[in-house]
Every structure is written in structure tokens, then in C-alpha cells.
Chains A and B, each alone.
Chain A
Amino acid sequence: MFPMLIGISLISFFIMHLAPGDVTSTEASFNPKASEESRQKLREIYNLDKPVIVQYGLWVKRISKLDFGNSFSSHQRPVLWEEKDKNGNITKGLIQEALPITLLINLLGITVIFSISIILGTLSAVRQNSWVDKSITLFVFIGFAIPGFWLALLLMYWTGVSNQWLPISGLHSLDYQNLSSFGQFTDLIKHLILPVFVSSLSGLAGISLYVRNGMLEILNQDFIITARSKGLNEKKIVFVHALKNAILPLITIIGLSIPGLIGGSVISESIFAIPGMGKLFYDSVLMRDFPVIMGILTIGSVLTLIGNLIADLGYAWADPRIRKGITK
């Protein structure tokens, strides 16, 4: 895992520097009142005038002490974790603030996707080729194909402007701090309904078809026929014997989606005004805020590697055939 990480960081670092420009060439700095000398001074302060390989060396040196550095463009805010100054003021890290929000939305999203997909997938497998199956397939594909931002805006209009059921954007109401803790909780949930719904909709198609096909395969196997001939009732056959086997491959998918948990969607975060990881990454790329870009990439790749590991372990845990294979 370790050599892999070095490889990933090296490639990311060089690709990042292949893009022209740096933090001093933003649109805001194209201002006759800002002199070229001051931009040059900034480049020197941030070591941007040194060769890329030297900059990489400096970065590795810092990261080996788990120091992710400070952002160029947001007033030296720490990239990863909070810092305390001599007066006891705490400046929160950029990732520290954005990550919990994105994690929350994505975890909710994954839970929704998997629970609904398993139900839909099972239903359409059991009723294969019936109108139920067909309409479920149609529904999930519409959900997959529909442009998220468009649906988001329509829903925002319907539930926020013409009906005022849900808040339109943001994460909290303006008077959030004055609410009771239950009030704060429902306020947050209300704000999350639309973002989670919109982001889950496109995920339903893949997973529910996985479940459907897995189910169909299992339902045609000999042990199901045995169970039926034993006279077990159909519910038990489907939900106990077949489903358990059919969702095995999903463990791999869950494992593989762990790194995806920290990546937010720029589009939905922008529309819903949610300060998550997607927006943070997108903005830092536009600002050429190298420490932030590298921080997010490094954490992302560590999580990907861990995710792969967990998927393998999870598979072994759930499937005796693999576990036994290992112990032999």
C-alpha cells in the first residue's frame, strides 16, 4: 500500500503542475492595481518558483510529519485539521469542515440507494417480466438518465417556492442556533431531503439491476428448487435463502464506494449551496490552491486503498467459500 501511495501522490503532483498557472494567476489578480512584483513575491513565498521536483520533495517532507500545510487562497487556513493560535483562537481546517457534511450526505445516500435498490431489485426478480418488473426498470432508468441539476431545480421550485414545504438551499436555517436540539435535528433533515433524494436517484439503476440479476440467477439454482420441493413458503425462499446469496456481490460495491464517500458532487453542492468536498476541490483547482488539491487527493487515495482492503475482508467474512479457501 505504501509504495502505491507514493506513486499516486507523485503522479497527482505532476499532473497538477502540468495545468498552467498558479495561485497568482487568478482572474481577480488580473488587476492593474496589482503589480507583477507582488505576484513574483508570492510565488517565492509559496516556493512556486522552484522546480516541480523540489516542490514535491518539500511536500513529501511535510506530509511525512502528517502536515498537510495551509491553503494559499483562503488566508492560510489549515488544509486538514484545526490550528490554535497563541491567543487560543481555533481556525478550523478546510477538509475538517467540509468532510463531515459530505460524509453525512453520502452515507445517507448510500443507505437510501441500497435499501431501496434491494427492495426494487428483489421485486422485479420475483415478478420477472411482469408489468411490475418493467415499470421498476423504467423508473430506475429514468432516475439514472435525468439530469440531476434540472430535477433538483424543479423540485426546489415545487417544494420550496410554490409550496414552501422544504427549504430551498443551504444546510441550516438562518436562526438555526436559536432552535432546540430537536429543532436543529429536524431543520437539518429538512435541508437534506432534497440533496439526498436527488443524489440517490441516479444510483438506483445500477444497484437494483445488480440485485435483480443476482436474484434471478440464484432463483434458478438447484438449492432453491430443493427448498421449494421441501414445501418452504415462497417468502422464506426469497427473503432468507435467495436474497442472502444475491446481495453478496454488493459487498464489493460497498467497499469500492468508500472512497466515493468523501467526494461530493460539484453540481449538486453548488445548486443546494452545501459547503462540501466537491465544491472545495473544484474551487481549489480553479484557484490552483496546491496544498488543498494535494490534501484531498492524498486522503482520497488512502481511503481508496483502505476501501479495497475492507472489500476483500468483507467478502471473506460473508462468503465461507472464500474464507475456507484462505485457511486451507
Chain B
Amino acid sequence: MYYKNIKLNLFILPLCLLLIGCGQDKSFESNHQNNYEKEDGGRLINAMTGEPSNLIAMIAGDSASSAIANNIFNSLLKYDESLNYAPEIAESWDISNNQKTITFKIREGLYWADGEKLTSKDVMFSWKLVTDPNTRTPYASDYQLVKKASTPDLYTFIVTYEESYAPALDTWTSLHILPEHLLKNEDVNSTYFSRKPVGSNYYKLDNWKSGQQVSLTRNSFSINGKANINNLVSRIIPDTSSQFLELTADNIDLMNINPIQYQRVFPSRKDLQDKIGLYKELGNGYTYLGFNLKKEPFNDKRVRKALNFAIDKNEIIKGVLLGLGEPLSSPYKPGTRWNNTKLKPYPYDSNRALALLNEAGYKKNNNGLLEKDGKVLRFEILTNQNKQREMTAVIVQRRLKEIGVDVSIRVIEWASFINQFIKTGDFDVVVLGWSLSLDPDQFNIWHSTQQGPGQFNFLGYENKRVDTLLEKGRLELDISKREKIYHEFSDILLDDSPIVYLYAGYGLSAINKRVRGIKRPSPPAGIYHNSYDWFIPKTLRRNEISDI
């Protein structure tokens, strides 16, 4: 029964295709061609599939929670449109010559939404909270590296690290600063504050109806100034097909869509194109095929490279993402400085694959399968219940069969997948994903010391040079030197081929055209980056009873 639920989308999409246009309001259409001045007010309704668990991001850990909390709270620093560090609560920051101490100068005259002053005490409090052993947060480790933190006055916050730590600034972009005066006597693990937060960003919580919607309204004390749109309502609609119906019926303004809706439904529906704008931008993650490097035959680099040559990434992008993705050659987002543009993905070349496998000792047997010392090249691809990953595995299986590799596929529920296979190392090949994080540090994923159960180098990758580079990269705060380090790291990683980069998919959004001010093409930081600057012209607004 549950399985049906997961499969549901498959049934719905053809259905959406079949449904023919609904009545269109012509005046609405023509309105969209006008240009509008920025206007204040209005309400933006979006849909999300899950309910936030709580609005204290350091404890929550789910994406729905952080999506809402990001509108309410600020960090010391933020990323600007082109993904450079920019001031937020801190107006400036200064790194000492030995690269171990960072001094943040806090902006003066900042207030919490309840009118209290926001000072370095709150920053100190937030740091203490995240590193407190009683706080149930998974994100403490980055902040525990701070050996000493101090606040010489109300507008200065100084942290000193044991050793220089290059990702430090990145960590200060993600730690939400929480108000000390409301939380100091509370148990952060169960406090009511998480359902009724007081922050400092553009919006504050208006009401939260469990399982139904979270509404935000403008915070008049916002430290970033005033957003144009007055209310943000996030409706919780678990099923994406229902979300899509709500979008077409004009009941919601914004949702994430899938490649089929983007490439198949919208092009065939003029009425939808007229009222809904589509946006695509590179997403924040990539999908890979990872080898268990502790196991035969994957401990042989030639076999890994051969399999990499034998997989056609463009075919997967076309088949699984309907072309809405990009191949990768490093674990970094194309277009950012960390991505080494000299590197090219392994092209699809079955002859080179076969040549490499022959070199590794594999010969075709009578059944057309590759064999070495009487053992057929045969393995199992393991993945979790994720439609795109399953389809990817099938395409890989077919390509590998062509060169004589016998592949089977096994799809497992997430918790079993992690506990019975990943943690125990009992797998051949996995199809999984990693995020394309903004900081290039990948120590936890690729350093040879990170192989314990529950750690993230579960593939068992070991390369001395990579270890050195990862260690150096963590210590180097000079951006251009750091860039060189990670370019070399990506180069070695691509050549070693412990994983086959399959694709990085686009994030696809559909936004009603009544919402104006969206940047196109989307900046590197994504279309939502300037959402505070979006506006909804009065004439295009819905009838809103409660609009103020």
C-alpha cells in the first residue's frame, strides 16, 4: 500500500498530459505583458511536501525547517549573489595573520523582532548553544574547532581556532544567531520557541497550523530592511501531483516541478505557459555510481576506469532527467571557482572500456561475459527507493551488459540501506548522491581516516596525495592557493575514478507570473536569492480577505 504511494507520480503524469486546457481569463493574460513598478504588499503562497519539524535549524536538520527558518533568522555572514562572502549580522570580518583568529565586527543598531537589541552576546550565546553537549544537534563538530570565543564589547565577536580552518567562514554563514534573552532559561531541545520563534530577518512567524500551513509576515525590525511581499504562506501538500493541480488552479504561486512537467506538460499547455513561468538552475547535488574499493575487482583502477568509459552519462541525463542536467568531472558546481574546467568527464567509449578490461585480465567467455581466472565480472548495484536513481541503475545495467558485464540491481529502503549495507561495507556498487556544497572541503568524504562505521568515506578511498591535499585545503585561507589545491584534488579523483559522476540535475521551479522581480537567468546563488525583492502588482493579486 505504501509502495503505491511512492509510485503514484508515474500514474499521474500521463494524466496531467491528457487533461486539456481549462478556461482562461484573457485579461489576466494581457496583464502579464505589462511592466510593473515595484509594489508593496501581497501574499505569496508556495507548497512544500513536508512539515518543518521545528524552526531552530541547528536541531531540525530537515530541509522544510531550514527553508522556513532562513526567512526568520540571520547568520553572521551570508553568500551574495555570486557566492562570495557578504556581511549580514557582522558588518566586517578580519582574519589574523596566523590565520587562526577571526574578528567579527557586529553591526550596531540591530534588533530582534520583539524590539530587543541584537548584540555580540547573542552571537556568543548561539555558539555556546551549538557546542553545548546537551544540545541535540548533528552540526556541532565544525564549531567545536573554535578553541576560544570572546566578546570584548557588544559589537565584537572573536573566535580563535586551534589551527587555521579554511571552511570557517562557510560555517558562520549557516549558524543562525538566536536571541539569548528568550532562550537562556530554556531547554533548546524542547522549547516552545521552536514553534514560535523570534528572529531578525525579513519575516516573522504569523501562525503555524500543524500539518496545514506556516504563514510568515513581514518583520518590521528586519536587519536587512523591508521585503516587498507582505505575507509568505507555505502550504503543506505532501503529494506533488496535488501541488501541481493547485498550481494550475491558481491556488498556489510557486512549487518545485519535475522534468516531465517541465519538458512534457508545460510545452503542450499554452494556458499554463501564459500564467506560469518556468525557471531552471543547477541544483545542489549530484548523483554518482560509487565502487566498493575494498572489494575485488574494484580495487583495480583499470576496472573502475573501464566501467566509467562504458557508461554513457549523456544518455542517462537524457533518459532520466529529460536533458535537464549536466555531466560533472569534479565534485564541485560548474561555474564556481572550485570546479576545475580543464577536466572533462569520461566520454562514452566502449572500445577503450574493453581494452582496459582486457589489460586487467578480463576475456570474453562463451556466453559473451567478461571473465578472469574463471570468475565472471558480475556485481550488484545497490540504491535506495528513489525513482531517478532506479532508472539510472537500469540504464547503467544495459550499457554494461553490452560490454559483457553482468549487473543486477537491488533497491532498498533507506534505513536498511544505510545500516545493513553502507555501515557494514557489504556492497559492490552503489548509486547515491552527494551535495555540491559551497565550501570545497571534502575531508569527511575522501580522507582515508574517515572510513569508520557511520563515517562518510564508506567507499574506502585511500590516496596519500589526496589526504595531503585535503589536509592542506582545510588550513589554507588564501582563496587562489586553495583553488589550486582543490583543482589538483579533483584531477586525481577523476583519474582514480572511485566514483563515476553521473549527473547534476537542475532544480526546476514553476512560479506564477503575478510574481515579479525574479532574476533571469538565475544568478549563481539561485533564483530564490533575491526573493525579498520579488513583488506582486496589486492588479494581479488574488482576492485576499486579510490583505493589509
State the A residues within 8 Å of B (CB). Answer: 19-22, 25-42, 45, 70, 73-76, 85, 87, 89, 91-92, 97-98, 147, 149-150, 153-154, 156-157, 160-162, 164, 167-172, 174-175, 177-178, 266-267, 269-275, 279, 282, 288
Task: Return the contact of B212 from the options A73, A153, A172 (Cβ within 8 A).
Answer: A172
Q: How far is the CB of B194 from chain A (nearest CB, A)?
A: 5
Q: Which 9 A-B pairs have the closest CB atoms?
A: A275-B211, A21-B415, A34-B138, A75-B54, A36-B454, A76-B190, A89-B192, A32-B444, A20-B419
Closest to A91 in B: B192
Interface-central residue, A20, A41, A45, A70, by most chain B CB under 10 Å: A20
Compute how far the CA of A37 lies from the CA of B59 in the bound complex, rounded to whole angstroms: 15
Question: When the two chains form their complex, are residues A21 and B5 in contact, meaning their CB atoms are under 8 A apart?
Answer: no
Question: When the two chains form their complex, are residues B420 and A35 in contact, meaning their CB atoms are under 8 A apart?
Answer: no
Q: Do A28 and B4 form a contact, CB below 8 Å, given A20-B420, A70-B190, A275-B210?
A: no
Task: Return the contact of B140 from the options A19, A38, A169 (Cβ within 8 A).
Answer: A38
Compute how far the CA of A41 lies from the CA of B415 in the bound complex, rounded to whole angstroms: 18
Q: Do A175 and B456 form a contact, CB below 8 Å, given A160-B245, A275-B210?
A: no
Q: What residues of A have a CB within 8 angstroms of the CB of B136 in the complex?
A: 41-42, 45
Q: Do A267 and B213 form a contact, CB below 8 Å, given A34-B139, A35-B138, A156-B242?
A: no
- Residues 240-267 of chain B, each 1 if its beta carbon lies under 8 Å from chain A, else 0: 0110011011010000000000000000
Compute how far the CA of A150 lies from the CA of B213 in the bound complex, rounded to whole angstroms: 25
Task: Return the contact of B249 from the options A40, A153, A160 (Cβ within 8 A).
Answer: A160
Task: Return the contact of B12 from the options A34, A153, A164, A274 (Cβ within 8 A).
Answer: A153
A–B Cβ pairs within 8 angstroms, 13 of them: A36-B453, A38-B139, A38-B140, A70-B190, A76-B189, A76-B190, A91-B192, A161-B19, A168-B246, A169-B237, A174-B213, A174-B233, A270-B239
Question: When the two chains form their complex, are residues A75 and B249 in contact, meaning their CB atoms are under 8 A apart?
Answer: no
Compute how far the CA of A106 lies from the CA of B453 in the bound complex, rounded to whole angstroms: 46
**Contact of B223 with A by CB under 8 A:** no
Interface residues in B, total, Cβ within 8 A? 75
Q: Do A170 and B249 form a contact, CB below 8 Å, given A20-B416, A36-B455?
A: no
Compute how far the CA of A319 lies from the CA of B223 in the bound complex, rounded to whole angstroms: 73
**Contact of B151 with A by CB under 8 A:** no
Name 10 extra pairs, CB < 8 A, besides A29-B138, A75-B59, A97-B210: A27-B384, A34-B61, A38-B138, A70-B190, A75-B53, A75-B190, A149-B4, A161-B19, A174-B213, A282-B2
Q: What residues of A have a CB within 8 angstroms of the CB of B59 in the complex?
A: 75
Task: Return the contact of B414 from the options A26, A35, A45 (Cβ within 8 A).
Answer: A26
Closest to B62 in A: A28
Question: When the two chains form their complex, are residues B419 and A272 in contact, meaning their CB atoms are under 8 A apart?
Answer: no
Q: How far is the CB of A151 from chain B (nearest CB, A)?
A: 11
Q: What residues of A have a CB within 8 angstroms of the CB of B141 in the complex?
A: 33, 35, 37-38
Compute how far the CA of A147 lies from the CA of B452 in the bound complex, rounded to whole angstroms: 46
Closest to B421 in A: A20
Closest to A161 in B: B249
Question: When the two chains form their complex, are residues B15 and A154 in contact, meaning their CB atoms are under 8 A apart?
Answer: yes
Question: When the two chains form their complex, are residues B194 and A75 in contact, meaning their CB atoms are under 8 A apart?
Answer: yes
Q: What residues of B have a CB within 8 angstroms of the CB of A19 in the complex?
A: 415-416
Question: When the two chains form their complex, are residues B235 and A273 in contact, meaning their CB atoms are under 8 A apart?
Answer: yes
Compute how far the CA of A82 lies from the CA of B442 in the bound complex, rounded to whole angstroms: 44
Compute how far the CA of A170 lies from the CA of B245 in the bound complex, rounded to whole angstroms: 12
Q: What residues of B have a CB within 8 angstroms of the CB of A45 in the complex?
A: 136
Q: What residues of A have a CB within 8 angstroms of the CB of B415 in the complex?
A: 19-22, 25-26, 288
Closest to B456 in A: A32
Closest to A90 in B: B192
Compute how far the CA of A76 lies from the CA of B8 in the bound complex, rounded to whole angstroms: 31
**Contact of B137 with A by CB under 8 A:** yes
Q: What residues of B have a CB within 8 angstroms of the CB of A273 in the complex?
A: 212, 235-239, 242
Q: How far is the CB of B283 from chain A (nearest CB, A)?
A: 16
Closest to B231 in A: A174
Q: What residues of B have a CB within 8 angstroms of the CB of A31 in the complex?
A: 61, 138, 435
Q: How far is the CB of A279 from chain B (nearest CB, A)?
A: 7
Interface hits, B432-463 → A, CB 8 Å: 434-435, 442, 444-445, 452-456
Q: How far is the CB of B363 from chain A (nearest CB, A)?
A: 39
Compute how far the CA of A75 lies from the CA of B445 in the bound complex, rounded to whole angstroms: 29
Question: When the two chains form their complex, are residues A97 and B211 in contact, meaning their CB atoms are under 8 A apart?
Answer: yes
Q: How far is the CB of A152 from chain B (nearest CB, A)?
A: 9
Q: How far is the CB of B285 from chain A (nearest CB, A)?
A: 11
Compute how far the CA of A74 lies from the CA of B194 in the bound complex, rounded to whole angstroms: 10
Closest to B12 in A: A153
Question: When the two chains form their complex, are residues A270 and B238 in contact, meaning their CB atoms are under 8 A apart?
Answer: yes
Question: When the two chains form their complex, are residues B546 and A175 in contact, meaning their CB atoms are under 8 A apart?
Answer: yes
Compute how far the CA of A27 lies from the CA of B414 in the bound complex, rounded to whole angstroms: 7
Q: What residues of A have a CB within 8 angstroms of the CB of B53 in the complex?
A: 73-75
Compute how far the CA of A25 lies from the CA of B424 in the bound complex, rounded to whole angstroms: 14
Q: How far is the CB of A8 from chain B (nearest CB, A)?
A: 21
Q: What residues of A have a CB within 8 angstroms of the CB of B444 in the complex?
A: 32-33
Interface hits, B329-343 → A, CB 8 Å: none
Compute how far the CA of A29 lies from the CA of B213 in the bound complex, rounded to whole angstroms: 25
Compute how far the CA of A208 lies from the CA of B213 in the bound complex, rounded to whole angstroms: 39
Question: When the two chains form their complex, are residues B235 and A29 in contact, meaning their CB atoms are under 8 A apart?
Answer: no
- Residues 32-76 of chain B, each 1 if its beta carbon lies under 8 Å from chain A, else 0: 000000000000010000010110100111110000000000000
